[in-house]
Structure 1
Amino acid sequence: MNSDDPRAQRTRARLKAAVLELAAEQELATITMSALARRAEVNRATVYLHYPDVDSLVTDAMEDAVAAVARAAALCPLDAPRDRAPDPLAELFEHVSANATVYARMLGPHGSARFAARMRERLTAELTGRFAGGRRPPGWEDVPVDVHAAYLAGALVGVLAHWAAGEGGDRAEEAALAFWRLFRAACRSAP
């Protein structure tokens, strides 16, 4: 199948929309390929032509969200003041807030391990590139760049999962600020 074919692109878009709609209504583990086919108004064989399983479809459907998370982390100025979350981070938490049910299901205990791993991988790569490009705070030379980046990426994914599940407060700006204070401290010059 040619993924550049407009028909294939339309079908994939319908499948991605269907899985996100279903994820907002029910746990990921209960979504079947048949239900996806019905929601997207395609036959079940068509679903399998594009995706081998629900998890790969979820991961593809959330790729824009993963990219947004990676961009937000990359755009945060590490020297921004402690008392105000940088705009990209605040916007990220607003986005997660607006889609909290889906994020809670994607990152929750019965969610998509592939999605969570993809998010950590993208964040780690973005931060590793940033640090390797000379934008790493001084004082962390004894910690490998990729380990530092993986630590911070895991922290953000963990906080997003915790917060989306309703355990981190109600307001996006408060969650963004709390995370920013932790993130900033972990990036600042080592003691």
Structure 2
Amino acid sequence: MPADDPRIRRTRARLRSAVLELAGARDPDSITVAEIAQLAGVNRATVYVHYRDRDDLVLDAMETAVAELAADAARCPYREPGPVPASLIALFEHIGERAGLYRRMLGPYGSARFRARLHEALAAGLDDPFAAGSRPPGHDDVPPEIHAHHVAGALVGIATYWLGEHPPRPAADIAAAAWSLVR
């Protein structure tokens, strides 16, 4: 079947969602294919139709989550004054909905590889808009790639701090604080 078949997309989305849910509760290395299949509502053989192995599926799920965050960050109109952009609120809502996963991956015993991948994806997503002039006013003398890494680092740091709050403030509030700082 072609990869753009809606059934394939739905099945892969369910598998990725199951992995992210399980990874939010415990170490991704301890998750089994059987558990993923059961939570996704498919049989084990279906997992192997779509992925080489469990690690391939875990990597795809994590990369998809990171890509969603990077897309939200890139959609922010950094040059425009005004209220907090919906895409920045969506970025923090995404993190909040998967707080267990991000807390585990970005926390003190988390994955340095995941943190670095998240930072790189955010910076890469911001680099093109910043190069095209979408940077906050007053920073035209800073090379776009440096500014992109600065904002990416700020977003990862703010998200990490927010995930450690008990109780965490609403996503819209943390997005407003982040917007104030990165603009």
Q: TM-score range by the shorter chain?
A: 0.7 to 0.9
Gaps of 5+ in 1: 185-191
- Does the 8 A contact of 1:15 with 1:47 survive in 2? no
Does the 8 A contact of 2:73 with 2:91 survive in 1?
Answer: no
The corresponding residue for 1:189 is: none
Deviation at 1:153, TM superposition (A): 0.8
The one-letter amino acid paired with 1:153 is A
CA distance in 2, matches of 1:38, 1:45: 11
102-111 vs 84-93, greater mean Cα deviation: 102-111
Is the contact made by 1:162 and 1:168 (CA closer than 8 Å) also made in structure 2? no
Residue number in structure 1 paired with 2:27: 27
CA distance in 1, matches of 2:114, 2:97: 18
Residue 173 (structure 1) shift: 1.9
Q: Which residue of 2 aligns with 1:117?
A: 116
- Cα distance in 1 for residues equivalent to 2:93 and 2:8: 32
Residue identity (%): 45
Distance 1:72 1:179, change over 3 A: same
- What is the CA RMSD across the aligned residues, in angstroms? 3.3
> How many equivalent pairs are there?
180
1:43 aligns with 2:49: no
Query: Which position in structure 1 is the counterpart of 2:84?
Result: 85
Q: CA deviation at 1:77?
A: 2.4
Amino acid at match of 1:154: G
Give the stretch that moved more between structures: 12-21 or 120-129: 12-21
2:12 counterpart residue number? 12
Measured after TM superposition, the shift of residue 138 of structure 1 is: 4.0
Residue identity in the other structure for 1:80: P
Q: Which residue number corresponds to residue 187 of structure 1?
A: none
TM-score by length of 1: 0.71
Q: Judging changes above 3 Å, is the alpha-carbon distance between structure 1 residues 134 and 13 closer, same or farther for their aligned structure 2 residues?
A: closer
Aligned to 1:69: 69
Shift in Å, 1:176? 1.0
Distance, in Å, in 2 between the alignment partners of 1:13 and 1:6 is 10
Tell me the distance in 1 between the aligned counterparts of 2:8 and 2:72: 30
* Distance in 1 of aligned mates of 2:10 and 2:76: 34
Please list the CA deviations of residues 129-174 of structure 1 after superposition, one character each: whole Å capped at 9, or x if unmatched.
1121122344442x43212211211221222122123368422222
For each residue in 1:102-131, what CA deviation from the matched residue of structure 2 results, as whole angstroms up to 9, or x when unmatched?
322233344444443333222211211112
In 1, Cα distance between the equivalents of 2:34 and 2:97?
Answer: 28
Partner of 1:183: 182
Task: Go from structure 1 to structure 2 and tell me whether the alpha carbon gap of 1:168 and 1:157 turns closer, same or farther (over 3 Å shift).
Answer: farther
**Residue of structure 2 equivalent to 1:94:** 93
Q: Is the 8 A contact 2:17 2:61 kept in 1?
A: yes
Q: Deviations over 1:29-52 (max 9, x none)?
A: 432445435545443895497145
CA positional deviation for 1:74? 2.2
- The change in CA–CA distance for 1:49 and 1:70 in structure 2 (over 3 A counts) is closer
Query: Aligned in 2, Cα 1:3/1:113: closer, same or farther, shift over 3 Å?
Result: farther
Q: Could you say what secondary structure the match of 1:130 adopts?
A: helix
